[in-house]
Structure 1
Amino acid sequence: MQSHRINELLELLKPYWLKNQDLSLMELLALISKESGFADPLEQLTDEVIIYHLKMDQTEKGSMIPGIAKDCENDFKSALLKARGLL
């Protein structure tokens, strides 16, 4: 795991862990696994699942997924021009 990814994980984990202060790290990871719908054994839980779940936990219900929101364009014409590399 690269250092920027570790920093991102720790940054996202802190507010989630503060909401569940009574849990140990393994219990916290088991909770993340359960909430995200990860059905495989805990040893197979990837950092991508953890990061995605923690990012989604910090967004409001009904809001756009963070990875999609950055690419969203309000205007169809400018979206087409951007896709063609003209903007």
Structure 2
Amino acid sequence: MSCHKINELFELLGPEWNKEAHLNLVEILQKLADEAGHQGGLATLSDDTLIYHLKMKGEAKDAMIPGIAKDVVPDFKEAMLRARGIK
């Protein structure tokens, strides 16, 4: 795991953990895993699952993932031009 991911995870996890400071780290991770719909033990929970769950937690159910939203082009013609490097 890169340092960037660790920093991002800590940055996102801090405010969430402060909401329920009475929980220990394993309990907060289990709570987040359950909210994200993770099936299995914490050992199989990926950092990406935690990061995206924490990023999307306050968003609407149909909201687009931030990493995908920045690349969305509403117009097909514009998308084709970008793909060809013209626009």
Name the TM-score, length of structure 2 as normaliser. Answer: 0.85
- Listed as ranges, the gaps of 5+ residues in structure 1 are none
4+ runs of 1 displaced by more than 6 Å?
Answer: none
* C-alpha distance in 1 between matches for 2:44 and 2:5: 18
Deviation of 1:86 (Å): 1.3
Aligned to 1:28: 28
Deviation of 1:70 (Å): 1.0
- Check 1:15–1:58 CA distance in 2 against 1; reply closer, same or farther (3 A cut): farther
RMSD (Å) for aligned C-alpha atoms: 1.5
Q: Percent identity, aligned pairs only?
A: 51
Matches within 5 A, 1:7-46: 7-46=7-46
- Listed as ranges, the gaps of 5+ residues in structure 2 are none
* C-alpha distance in 1 between matches for 2:14 and 2:76: 38
Aligned to 1:2: 2
Name the TM-score, length of structure 1 as normaliser. Answer: 0.85
